[in-house]
């Protein structure tokens, strides 16, 4: 399946290097042309000869060791690759890459390539959860790198937790899927996504809002479009650009968002409501700026329309997916919201958790649905998470129809 595909495997220094040998072997057996670059630390675990035998190609480890004088090795490899996989990826190489540091053969090649780069982290569970590592992964995701999430289990350091390099067999399947003709499961369907905060005016210079950045909603819209859907993104005020393959409808207030959603709802196949819509708005909006007065002041608030609940009442054959930002008892409130709003799925997360919630590049969520569906998705870049969520929901729906 991988015949004629050119893959560069960058191997960095961790005990999981032995799995990289198996990965190279299996990629080669699948027909790929594989070339390996190693760091000096990686060579402390496995000698280059092992990779040379498995790949049947020279192994690169020294930026200044030019095996072919007619080319510059790291530039030639960078241009040659159809796909680059960093496996295992240590916290060190993730940090260097996130900050544009190129001080060896691996990092100089990674910075020079225009091919897609996949990063497969492998490290101690506490290292993987360190704030600096989370921050660096988020930066690389923002820069366009993709991640193969580590699995959980017994680690070489003696801990049990997340940090094991994904199994070579699964990585090969991911590579095969990447190079296979892309399926578009949402082709011919219309997906409506709401995103961002709303603003409720107090007077001409003040408003009520929340911390939503819109990043998760925009990621969901992009994922839906990439899966073939005609995608409409209804967004409150945010500071990020909409994906190029979606139709953007900008709104400000909860009322404007309600009207825009209702206008699109009846022609939609799927509605994904990620927006953090204000629950309350000022009962009175002052036409002039409110002036300071002696003592306290009071603003009377009234309820806004509950968009998700209204959609739950009106839906016929639409798939309705809501999001819930919580600070405690996440699953409990998600299940309660699922029932009260008559939604099909609720995606809930704890916004107080590090690396999750508003404004972050990563997220950790729990998907709940009818028939006791409860699936947890650990910290992932939001774009990766959005795609996994949509694919999981589509699989659950297809399984239900069978």
Question: Can you give the pLDDT at residue 48?
Answer: 95
Q: What is the CATH number of the domain that holds 102?
A: 3.40.50.1950
Would you state the structure tokens that stand for residue 23, as one six-digit string?
């990965």
Query: Has 19 been labeled as part of a binding site?
Result: no
Handedness of CA 98, 99, 103, 108 (dihedral sign): positive
Contact present, 6 and 36 (Cβ < 8 Å): no
Confidence (pLDDT) at 243: 86
pLDDT for res 155: 54
Identify whether residues 361 and 258 lie together within a single domain: yes
149, 196, 345 from 170: Cα distances, Å? 11, 35, 28
Residues 108 and 199 occupy one common structural domain: no
Model confidence pLDDT, tens digit, residues 130-185: 999 999 999 998 898 999 888 766 555 565 556 678 899 989 988 988 887 567 89
pLDDT digits (tens, 9 = 90+) for 344-398: 999 998 888 877 777 788 888 999 998 889 999 988 888 889 999 999 999 999 8
Query: Is residue 214 domain-shared with residue 358, that is, in the same domain?
Result: yes
Domain boundary (179, 202, 225) is at 179
Q: Which residues contact 25 (CB under 8 A, 6 or more apart)?
A: 54, 168
395 is in an annotated binding site: no
Using CA atoms, how far apart are residues 274 and 254, in angstroms rounded to an integer? 13
The answer on whether 341 is annotated among ligand-binding residues is yes
Q: Do residues 141 and 218 both lie within one domain?
A: no
- Radius of gyration (C-alpha) of the chain in whole angstroms: 24
Please give the DSSP secondary-structure letter assigned to residue 62: -
pLDDT at residue 91 is higher than 90: yes
Domain match, 157 and 297 both: no
- Report yes or no: 60 and 112 within 8 Å, Cβ to Cβ: no
Is the per-residue pLDDT at 46 higher than 70? yes
DSSP state of 325: E
The chain-wide mean pLDDT, for the chain, equals: 90
Tokens 């107080």 belong to which residue? 352
Q: Looking at 75, 156, 157, 177, which residue is catalytic?
A: 157
Are 342 and 200 part of one and the same domain? yes
Domain that holds residue 155: 6-179
* pLDDT at residue 20, rounded to an integer: 95
Has 82 been labeled as part of a binding site?
A: no
Virtual torsion, Cα 40, 178, 363, 210, nearest 10 deg: 130
10 is a catalytic site residue? no
Whether 99 and 163 share a structural domain: yes
Is residue 378, in this structure, part of any structural domain at all? yes
pTM, 2 dp = 0.61
In a shared domain, residues 291 and 367: yes
Q: What is the mean pLDDT of residues 64-87?
A: 87
Looking at 138, 158, 179, which one is the last position of a domain? 179
């Amino acid at each position: 399946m991988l015949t004629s595909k050119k893959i560069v495997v960058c191997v960095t220094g961790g005990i999981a290097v032995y799995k990289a040998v198996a990965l190279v072997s299996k990629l080669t057996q699948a027909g790929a042309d594989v070339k390996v670059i190693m760091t000096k630390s990686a060579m402390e675990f496995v000698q280059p000869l092992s990779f040379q035998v498995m790949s049947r190609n020279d192994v690169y480890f020294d930026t200044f060791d030019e095996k072919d004088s007619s080319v510059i090795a790291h530039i030639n490899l960078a241009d040659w690759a159809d796909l680059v996989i960093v496996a295992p990826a240590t916290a060190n190489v993730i940090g260097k890459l996130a900050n544009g540091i190129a001080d060896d053969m691996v990092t100089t090649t990674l910075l020079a390539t225009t091919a897609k780069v996949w990063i497969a982290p492998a490290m101690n569970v506490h290292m993987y959860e360190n704030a600096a590592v989370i921050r660096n992964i988020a930066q690389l995701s923002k820069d366009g790198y993709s991640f193969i999430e580590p699995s959980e289990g017994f680690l070489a350091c003696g801990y049990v937790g997340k940090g094991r390099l994904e199994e070579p067999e699964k990585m090969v399947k991911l590579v095969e899927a990447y190079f296979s003709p892309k399926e578009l499961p949402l082709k011919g369907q219309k997906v409506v996504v709401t995103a961002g905060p709303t603003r409720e005016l107090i007077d001409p210079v003040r408003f009520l809002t929340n911390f939503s950045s819109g990043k998760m909603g925009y990621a969901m819209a992009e994922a839906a479009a990439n899966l073939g859907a005609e995608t409409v993104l209804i967004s409150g005020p945010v500071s990020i650009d909409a994906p190029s393959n979606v139709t953007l409808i900008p709104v400000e207030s909860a009322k404007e968002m309600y009207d825009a959603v209702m206008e699109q709802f009846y022609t939609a196949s799927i509605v994904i409501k990620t927006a953090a819509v204000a629950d309350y708005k000022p009962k009175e909006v002052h036409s002039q700026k409110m002036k300071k007065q002696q003592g306290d002041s009071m603003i009377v608030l009234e309820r806004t329309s509950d968009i998700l609940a209204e959609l739950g009442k009106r839906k016929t054959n639409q798939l309705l997916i809501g999001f819930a930002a919580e600070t405690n008892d996440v699953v409990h409130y998600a299940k309660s919201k699922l029932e009260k709003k008559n939604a099909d799925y609720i995606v809930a997360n704890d916004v107080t958790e590090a690396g999750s919630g508003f404004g972050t590049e990563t997220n950790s969520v729990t998907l709940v649905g009818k028939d006791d569906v409860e699936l947890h998705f650990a910290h992932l870049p939001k774009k990766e998470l959005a795609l996994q969520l949509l694919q999981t929901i589509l699989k659950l729906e297809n399984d239900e129809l069978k």
